[in-house]
Structure 1
Amino acid sequence: MPTLPRSALAAALFTLATPALAESPTLALPIDCALGQTCYIEDYVDLDPGPGQHDYMCSLKSRDDHRGTDIHLLSFEAMETGVNVLAAAPGRVAALRDGMPDTPVTEDTRDAIAGRECGNAVRIDHGSGWQTLYCHMKNGSIAVTEGQQVDSGTPLGQVGLSGLTNAPHIHLSVLKDGDIIDPFLPDAEPGVCGTATGPGLWATALPYDRAGLFTAGFSTAVPDFDAVKSGDARVTETTPDTPLVIYGHVFYAQPGDTMRVTASGPEGEIFYHTETLDAPQAQLFRAYGRRAPEGGWPPGAYRGYVTLERAGQVLANRHADIIVLAE
């Protein structure tokens, strides 16, 4: 998800450093979901001090200057049903914000949220300079008050779509004396990765896999790989008489991994397809779709999902949207 800039709520919390870890909190999963089943980790802290990025295992699951851990739901429907955000450790609510709408960010709305990119959020003080920050929560869901004492697992609110994001998830930042700490590699030296030997700050070691999805999108024909990589394959509006095709751009898949592609529109599901990746490369894409039915697609909004799985565990999930215009 997009990088969180400096803001009043974040209180200049975002300098990557290696502080002393004495009295560090032990963290529980900050969301009421099952990793690999109903949620997955999309992005980790960027440990590359330069313009590039790498996660704590020296792989691709981060973005330049990303300052937290992003745990995503598998669908917008799950967000609408309600998934609780949980305090990762005991502490006191130091700051909060509510009242921002759950709206995917666009270029047209980016300026309107300047300074509030974290969206609806809660910041918890755990003592000894340690804090956790929970971003992008659902509008009206904040369930705690400033100054309130919370325990590990206390519901803080629900996963939402507020601030600088376009998919439902919780962004968790961990801080020590105002410096960003990667909870998977809390003693990391700047630029160092791949040295994790235990659970980090987590009470229980969380699973990691380097495979994932760069992107997913709708097109009106099976695109070529160059168009997928450049973004030129993406179509956001079309007419009722065109095919609807969804593609997914995968990295580091293994033989036997499964890609699932689904799409729905105003009248329900339009296709469901699974494919086993028998001999994947470091990068690949797959596409699946349908020709327009007789009479054309009903006008309206269509949404698709591409999911990468291994042995029944979700490794990555991306959504795509397209509008079929009325003739």
Structure 2
Amino acid sequence: MILRFKKYLALFSLILSLTVIINVLNPKLGLTVETWIAQTIPSPRFSPPILCNIGEDCFILLYPDRDPSTAAVDFGCGRQTYDGHKGTDFAISDAGIMAYGVPVLASAPGKVLRVRDGVEDRRVQDEFDRYAVEGSECGNGVVIDHSIISNGVGWETQYCHLRQGSIEVQPGDIVDTGNVLGLVGASGLASFPHVHLSVRYQGQVVDPFVGPNASSGCNVRQNSLWDRPLPYTPTGLIRAGFATEPPNLDKLWDGEFTETLFYTDDPAILFWIQAYGTLSGDRVEYQLYDPRGRTVVEHQERLDSPSRTWLGYIGKRNNPQQPLIPGTWRGEYRLIRDGKILIDVNRDVQLQ
């Protein structure tokens, strides 16, 4: 009994000593006991679960929610998340690209645990749609156990909202990093085409941008689990183009307004921009130029509310007094925050 007590005492003394050492080193190394524990948890490195160039033909629209209250904040102290969001959403611009086919990839080696397919791709637009997918919010998906690799014990990844009929794996399959699991879709509780990646350790959701056992909130030390640097881009461009009628977000997500050729008898010409992560106080600037280089429309405004996805446009009506003339029309757009240009885009269109 005395020997057992001495063993426990020695173990307690060792833990206490390590705690003191870490706290002493903290001012120089930025370590805390919590950070030290997080860094000692063996973990795989995860690859992005989508075959695309992030920031060019796909983008991260939503991050895990790091606020335990009913509020929401992402790891970069931004608002590209919502209350209770448990994963990272890698999005594509519209359903047209989704129909073409964008592969969803395994983020690390592992064994397929569960698969679901057969859920219809239908973007959720109202409460009726939300009710219709109750119980199958992930839509078509795959769950992978990473215990087959030495540092993957206790780790799982889940891939949601895949395209109906696209899943290429079965339970029990062994996959490697980059193996195709299926295609990006909009099944389940999805309001835009994307793949939602959830990372879990021992059943608990882990934000891969900060690592396991990180404290709540956004001002925490980051122990990224990604196998490459992923830039934090809380504000960016989704699409831009022209239309002959006022666009809306539903039609844009559906892939409409992709035309690059219009006619002088069209009722109007509109230059539109779809962006994400706009904030109250952002300044937006538009210009529309006719084929002679003249400024037809110029508009500036400050946004009075934030938006995870935002749509703006300017345009000119066609009328006998000032008709649309043939040639190349040009639209330009900038989003400026605190004096810094975050989005700078221009598009051309032909009228004949």
Residue range with higher mean Cα deviation, 274-283 or 159-168: 274-283
Name the CA distance, whole Å, in 2 between partners of 1:287 and 1:143.
Answer: 41
* CA shift for structure 1 position 257: 8.5
Matched ranges for 1:44-193 at <5 A: 44-107=63-126, 108-127=128-147, 128-187=153-212, 189-193=214-218
8 Å CA contact retained: 1:37, 1:314: no
Matched ranges for 1:265-276 at <5 A: none
Q: Secondary structure at the match of 1:36?
A: coil
8 Å CA contact retained: 2:73, 2:217: no
* Structure 1 vs Structure 2 CA RMSD: 4.6
* CA shift for structure 1 position 112: 2.2
* CA shift for structure 1 position 254: 11
Name the CA distance, whole Å, in 1 between partners of 2:64 and 2:159.
Answer: 14
* TM, length-normalised to structure 1: 0.64
Q: Which residue of 1 aligns with 2:60?
A: 41
Cα-to-partner distance string for 1:103-133 (whole Å, 9 max, x where unaligned):
1124323222111000000000001110000
* TM, length-normalised to structure 2: 0.60
Q: Which residue of 2 aligns with 1:203?
A: 227
Report which of the two has the higher share of helix: 2
Structure 1 residues 259 and 252 mapped into 2: Cα distance closer, same or farther (>3 Å)? farther
8 Å CA contact retained: 2:201, 2:212: no
Structure 2 segments unaligned to the other structure (5+ residues): 1-33, 148-152, 248-266, 289-295, 321-332, 345-352
Name the CA distance, whole Å, in 1 between partners of 2:213 and 2:143.
Answer: 23
Residue range with higher mean Cα deviation, 250-259 or 135-144: 250-259
Matched ranges for 1:158-307 at <5 A: 158-187=183-212, 189-197=214-222, 200-211=224-235, 251-252=278-279, 286-289=312-315, 291=317
Q: Which residue of 2 aligns with 1:302?
A: none
* CA shift for structure 1 position 211: 2.4
Identical positions, percent? 36
Q: Secondary structure at the match of 1:110?
A: helix
Matched ranges for 1:16-35 at <5 A: 22-35=41-54
Q: Secondary structure at the match of 1:208?
A: coil
* CA shift for structure 1 position 157: 0.3
**Which amino acid letter does the alignment assign opposite residue 132 of structure 1?**
T
Matched positions, count: 257
Q: Secondary structure at the match of 1:131?
A: strand
Name the CA distance, whole Å, in 1 between partners of 2:209 and 2:109.
Answer: 19
Could you say which structure has the greater relative contact order, defined with CA pairs below 8 angstroms and 6 or more residues apart?
1
Bigger radius of gyration among the two = 2
* CA shift for structure 1 position 292: 7.7
